[in-house]
Amino acid sequence: MRVSNAASMKSVDEVPIDKMGLRHYFVNYEKYIGPLRMQPLRLLELGIARGDSLRHWESWLPNAKITGLDIKPCEARFESGRVRCYVGEQQDRAVLDRMAAERAPRGFDVIIDDASHVGQLSRISFWHLFENHLKPGGYYFIEDWGTGYWRQYPDGKSYHPRPPRLSPRERLLDRLHRSGLAQAVSPLGKLTGWMRWNLVRRRFHGHDRGMVGFVKELIDECGAEDMTHPDFGAGTPRASRFAWMRVSLGHVVIRKAG
């Protein structure tokens, strides 16, 4: 997220954005963080560039202790004394642990990943911070996951959708079903019903490069209860570590289970 003139911003309508015009990022922040904005929150943002977004959080969250991390030093200056910037890589667990120990020993309330937008790096920092340094009920925001569709990105690749066509087998079954012949001839109807259930497509074409693949891994975590159900799953039964997950263009919001 890149914000300018952040110190004077009070509402989403006043926030100028130069990142793809994704105004719903700020709608999400207002929706989920807005009700908490007067509380003494602990917020961490990975990827802060010039510090513009930190100025926004400093102004908008008047009682929060705000921490930023970037691979380059942040030259911005903050008057409140509530903002501190660190230099390091988002996948460096030692740096993440040090920031948490110094800035939020009881855990962060809000974590925002606006760093590399590289799937494996975001994955490493997500699971380490989520499991060890995000409070129960806390929010984790992931920005710009669509880089997985960008062929010029280090781990991205252009998406080439397959036309939503029926296979020859599916077309035959569809014709039989619509003709009424299968319903008229009982054995044929039973056979057609069995074929429609057992021979139709069960897997669907998708894209799993970079951040897109990482987000799909997070969707699996949402389904943990089904994945591990004793009657039809595998592994030790457990609930998801997510209370919920919201996915929109370029933006993921996860609330940690309480």
Strand partners, 70: 87
Print burial letters for 8-24: b (CB count within 10 Å at least 16), e (below 16). ebeebeebeeeeeebee
| 247/95 Cα distance (integer angstroms) | 28
Q: Which of 117, 128, 133, 251 is catalytic?
A: 117
Sort strands 242-248 and 134-143 into parallel, antiparallel or unpaired: unpaired
Using alpha carbons only, give the angle 13, 18, 24 rounded to the nearest 5 degrees: 45
CA distances to 61, 66, 118 from 86, rounded to whole Å, are 20, 11, 20
Cβ atoms within 10 Å of 192's Cβ, excluding its own: 18
Active site annotation includes 117: yes
What tokens appear for 11 in the block?
């509402």
Number of residues in the chain: 258
How many helices (H) and strands (E) are present in the chain, helices listed first? 9, 7
Residues belonging to the active site: 117
